[in-house]
Each structure stands twice: as structure tokens, then as C-alpha cells.
Amino acid sequence: MTNIIATPLDTDMHQRLNAVEASVVLYTDTPLNLNSGTTLGPVDVAYHTYGRLNAEKSNVVVVCHALTGDQHVVLPHPLTGKPGWWSSLIGPGKVIDTDHFFVICSNVLGGCMGTTGPRSTDPATGHPYMLDFPVITVADTVRVQVALLDHLGIDQAFAVIGGSMGGMQVLEWAAHYPERVFCALPIATCARYSAQNIAFDEVGRQAIMADLDWCGGRYLLEGRIPHKGLAVARMAAHITYLSEAALTRKFGRKLQGKDKVSFGFEADFEVESYLRHQGSTFVERFDANSYLYITRAMDYFDMPSEYDGHLAHAFRNTPVHFCVISFSSDWLFPTRDSQAIVRALNAAAASVSFVEVQSDKGHDAFLLDEPEFHDTVRGFLSGMSERRGLSFVREAP
């Protein structure tokens, strides 16, 4: 394992957060064994840390990001300049208080923000992997995250938290590495990806692959980018992150900068303009092949199948404490998905609490400033901190 960079960032914001941007090369001697039966190595892992590790290394919070997220969980994104995707939740004095906790968030395997993925250089050829990159799973991503903690000398995370695909990673942590996790917060997620969600993912992948600039996945060698296909994939997916109530409240049938319809195919309605903007800004920061690989990893997520259809067996005798959270208007990962997880945890006699947050903002509610959601996370972490006897005295490790 070779550390490449660990750079404290020196603006006022970075100093308040004790933020460090880092990258490490793992699996240099022994490659990563993947669920597909192939291997991969070496593996670059890009990650951020916030806060300070206490002397006991007991205040670690691992944050797992969703499909289109990355390690820029708090700091502004370097390509878009937008605030970190969970900056409403994490920071000094916030729900996940970086004056108390040491937060780690890494870019997932297959990603495009520094962790090895299809646009990374294949050491065997000297060219980007492109579609020679092996198909990956959520479990493969979590193996890499565990290896990162090993590299950092951290035996156990106090908490692992994530929403959507991040919640899948949380469940993998708890099921396969229960001794490495004190408490887990799977949010707006599932234990088995639904046929409907696989269908939405396939629409997005087909949009990308239908773009002539995709070039059979070799667009980087051709100096082309499938902007149109990736933008359409993002537009289709973004609809699933919202709710009808949220779209109606925000847009209704309002026209975009005009008094009457054009009787053509320009963006007449505000909602059309909004989706086009979402698509065009997404292509600035995301790689098309990464989108293919990560959505495929989500498609393959099916924890019950690992245990002959009995999800409870995944958590038998688990020491992990769980807080499962869903949102009432989330139709991508509806509350029944979270309830299935809770039933399995109850059947395994696990320590579990469950909250369905009342919100009309859809799946994306976990990324927004939802007071009930924030209060739930804050209360759970506070109670678990007391139970763990967690020391918040910040000392150099």
C-alpha cells in the first residue's frame, strides 16, 4: 500500500472542517478479488476526511455515497463549485459534528473522481480500461472501503451511514464486517434492488450506448464524450429522485420564460428546462462508462439471495446497532423496502430502530434539510455515543 497524497486544505472553510483530501494505492501486492471471479489491482482510492481522529480511534464515521455522489461530501465540488452533497448534515456543530467525529468518505470503486474505474489507466495496456474494466458489485466497493480503514489503522467505525446506493453499502458493512461497525444507518435504501429500478437503470444505459459519441465505450481514445446520452440518462434518473407533489409544487405547468406555448419541441415548460439543466450539468462531472458500471452494481444488489432468501440470516447474532430511515414519498426506495430490512433485523434479534420521515420531497429528501430526518440521525448518534462511551477529547492519534 502506497500513500500518494494527503493534503490539508488551507482555506478558512477547510481549516474549520479539519479537511484533508487524500488518495492511496491499495492492492499493490495482492489484487482485489471481485464477485465476478476476476481480480483487480492496484486500486487507487480517493477520499476526504473531516474532523480529527481521537486517541482511541473510536470516533470514526464512514459516509457511503450514492450513485452520482463522490467523496466531496462537505467541501465544494472542484468541477461544479457546488456545496458538498451532504454539507447540510456534516460539519462543525451540525448533525454529524466534525468537532466530535472523524468523517471519512471515499469515491466508490468504478467511480470517476480519483478511485479506479473505467477511465483509469489499465497498467497492462497503458490506455484507459474503458469496457475492459471488470464488472463490479456493491460488495466489491465495500471491500475497498474496509481496506482503506485497514490502511488508516482503524479497527472499527463508530458509525457507517449512507442513503440510496450508500445505504446498500451500509448493509454490506453490517452483514459482512459486523465486528468493524458499532452502529449503522441505512437510509432510503433496500436489501434487494427492484425490477422497476433495474428497468430505470437500463433506460439510462441504453441512452448512453445509443449516443454515437459513445463509440462502443472507447470514446476517450476517440476524443469524444457521449454528452447527449449521459444527459438523457441523468434526466430520466432524476425524475425518480423526486415526487409528483414536489414537481407540482415547484413547477406545476408553468411556462419557461414565455406567455404561451411554442407549438414546437423547445422547452416550453419550466420542468423541461429544469431537467435539461440537470442533464447538461451532470455531464460536466461524471463519466459515462462509470455510470454504466455503477448502475450495474446496483442492479446486482440482492442480499437475501446470499442467504437462501432469508435476509435475517445475514444479521444473525450481529452486534451492530441499527437505525433504518425511509421517506413517505420515496417511490424509488419505498418505505416497504426499509420495513423488509427492519423485519429481518427483528427476526435476527438485532438492536434496531425505524423511522419513516414524513416528507413530500421524494427520494432526494435524504439530501435535503429535512428537520425530522436530521433530528432522527442526531438523536441516534447521540444515544449510541453514550452507549459506546465515546470520548470526544481530540488528541493526535
Q: Which residue has the cell 425505524?
A: 354
List the catalytic residue out of 23, 58, 106, 164.
Answer: 164
The yes-or-no answer on residue 374 being catalytic is no
Catalytic residue among 97, 268, 287, 330: 330
Q: Is residue 213 flagged as an active site residue?
A: no
Residue 290 known to be catalytic = no
Measured CA to CA, the distance from residue 12 to residue 4 in angstroms comes to 25
Active-site choice (44, 329, 363, 364):
363
3-state SS, residue 45 = strand
Q: How far apart are CA 198 and CA 98, in angstroms?
A: 36
Determine contact, residues 359/367, Cβ cutoff 8 Å: no
Task: Decide: helix, strand or coil at residue 10.
Answer: coil
- Helix 227-241 to helix 270-282 angle (10° resolution) is 120
- Extended beta strands in 43-180, E state: 43-50, 60-64, 90-91, 96-97, 102-106, 157-163
Own/partner pairs for 218-227, CB < 8 Å, 24+ apart?
A: 218/130, 218/131, 219/288, 220/119, 220/128, 220/130, 221/127, 221/128, 221/130, 225/283, 225/288, 226/288, 227/280, 227/283
Beta bridge partners of 96: 90
Task: State the catalytic residues.
Answer: 164, 330, 363
